[in-house]
């Protein structure tokens, strides 16, 4: 999980003196330590070469070298986002951390530390102006924020749309009427299960309360559970800008939607649909790529100004 805010602050990275946890293969446990150094050049040891960027961790039992932490398979995309002057990115949670496991209310869940206890620690912190959540962040962390913070939860990009799973375990959670949310769904994601693409998207839409008028879904037929780097790199900053605009104006960010669709069309290898609430309970749907010619037709609930603008995206 990550949070972003409008430019004006800094990006928090690991540095010398930071307290960290390192996994002990021999002891099968996490050991507390601190960052003693970050290698600026590869280090040649008798039995291995430690790569540049690795962390030198000082533990009670001595020193340990560990790879530099990465933000999942799309680390490069998040690194690029850090360099984008429009945002300041702060990573709040990472895959593989001690809390990266489902809570006890889930099948095969675990007692704390888990994702729910982690979310409980975060609610008292500055979450920034925007959130970016992956699959488990969408399933557990964002619903926790909604239960505790309600309408004060920052707008969120939810990769894999975990918050819009109908049979999601855990406490009952009301989707805030004022929540500003952008779901990024993939046609090749195992979250889709046996549902058809149309059924998968329809199920996600049904999780949004009819009173909510600030939700969008970008369904990309070719997207896998871990979004391809070229896809995420093409749209992530645009999704964030759309959320900022929607939150500020209270109206669907048509110009930003057009930018997203233009970018995907320009890539030439993506197809799918952009859906959004033009008003409370009123969904508009725009196909892009080869989906414009498929049987899953573009439909809207009723004519609207937003729909007329959207229809011109591909003219």
pLDDT per residue as tens digits for the range 159-206 = 999 999 988 999 999 999 999 999 999 999 999 988 999 999 999 999
Domain with CATH 3.40.50 in the chain: 2-10+69-314
pLDDT interval class at 55 (50, 70, 90): confident
* Token pair recorded at residue 275: 């859906």
Nearest by Cα to 57 from 40, 37, 39:
37
- Residue 26 CA to residue 64 CA, distance in Å, equals 13
pTM: 0.75
pLDDT interval class at 26 (50, 70, 90): confident
Question: What pLDDT sits at residue 264?
Answer: 97
Q: What is the CATH number of domain 2-10+69-314?
A: 3.40.50
Identify the residue whose tokens are 């979004």. 227
- Residue 223 CA to residue 53 CA, distance in Å, equals 31
Looking at the DSSP assignment, which residues form a beta bridge with residue 185? 219
What φ, ψ does residue 132 adopt, rounded to 5°?
-125, 120
Helical ranges in 123-218 per DSSP H: 135-136, 142-149, 197-206
Nearest by Cα to 240 from 13, 70, 77, 97:
77
* Token pair recorded at residue 57: 């961790």
Question: What pLDDT sits at residue 33?
Answer: 81
Q: Average pLDDT of 25-48?
A: 79
Across the beta sheet with 272-279, what order do the strands follow? Answer: 87-91, 2-6, 130-133, 156-159, 181-188, 215-224, 272-279, 282-288
Q: Is 70's pLDDT higher than 60?
A: no
Q: What is the dihedral of CA 144, 137, 237, 223, to 10 degrees?
A: -130
Q: Is 238's pLDDT higher than 50?
A: yes
- Residue 132 CA to residue 158 CA, distance in Å, equals 6
Nearest-5° angle of CA 116, CA 122, CA 128?
130
Question: What pLDDT sits at residue 135?
Answer: 93
- Residue 135 CA to residue 168 CA, distance in Å, equals 12
Looking at the DSSP assignment, which residues form a beta bridge with residue 181? 156, 215
Long-range CB contacts (within 8 A, 24+) of 265-269:
265/289, 265/314, 267/230, 267/231, 267/234, 269/222, 269/230
């Amino acid at each position: 999980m990550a949070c972003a805010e409008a430019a004006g602050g800094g990006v928090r990275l690991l540095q010398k003196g930071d307290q960290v946890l390192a996994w002990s293969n021999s002891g099968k446990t996490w050991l507390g330590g601190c960052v003693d150094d970050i290698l600026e050049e590869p280090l040649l040891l008798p039995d291995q070469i430690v790569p540049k960027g690795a962390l030198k961790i000082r533990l009670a039992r001595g020193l340990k070298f560990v790879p530099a932490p990465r933000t999942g398979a799309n680390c490069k995309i998040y690194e690029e986002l850090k360099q984008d002057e429009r945002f300041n990115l702060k990573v709040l949670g990472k895959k593989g951390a001690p809390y990266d496991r489902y809570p006890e209310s889930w099948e095969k869940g675990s007692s704390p530390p888990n994702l729910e206890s982690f979310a409980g620690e975060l609610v008292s912190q500055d979450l920034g102006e925007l959130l970016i959540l992956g699959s488990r962040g969408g399933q557990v962390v964002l619903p926790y924020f909604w239960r505790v913070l309600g309408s004060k939860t920052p707008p969120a990009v939810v990769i894999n749309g975990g918050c819009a799973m109908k049979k999601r375990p855990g406490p009952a959670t009301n989707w805030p009427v004022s929540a500003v949310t952008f779901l990024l769904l993939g046609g090749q994601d195992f979250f889709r299960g046996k549902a058809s693409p149309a059924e998968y998207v329809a199920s996600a839409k049904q999780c949004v309360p009819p009173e909510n008028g600030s939700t969008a879904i970008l369904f990309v037929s070719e997207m896998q559970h871990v979004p391809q780097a070229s896809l995420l790199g093409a749209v992530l900053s645009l999704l964030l800008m759309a959320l900022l605009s929607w939150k500020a104006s209270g109206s669907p960010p048509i110009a930003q939607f057009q930018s997203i669709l233009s970018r995907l069309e320009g890539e030439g290898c993506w197809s799918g649909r952009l859906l959004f609430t033009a008003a409370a309970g009123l969904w508009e749907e725009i196909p892009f790529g080869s989906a414009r010619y498929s049987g899953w037709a573009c439909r809207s609930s009723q004519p609207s100004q937003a729909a007329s603008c959207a229809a011109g995206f591909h003219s």
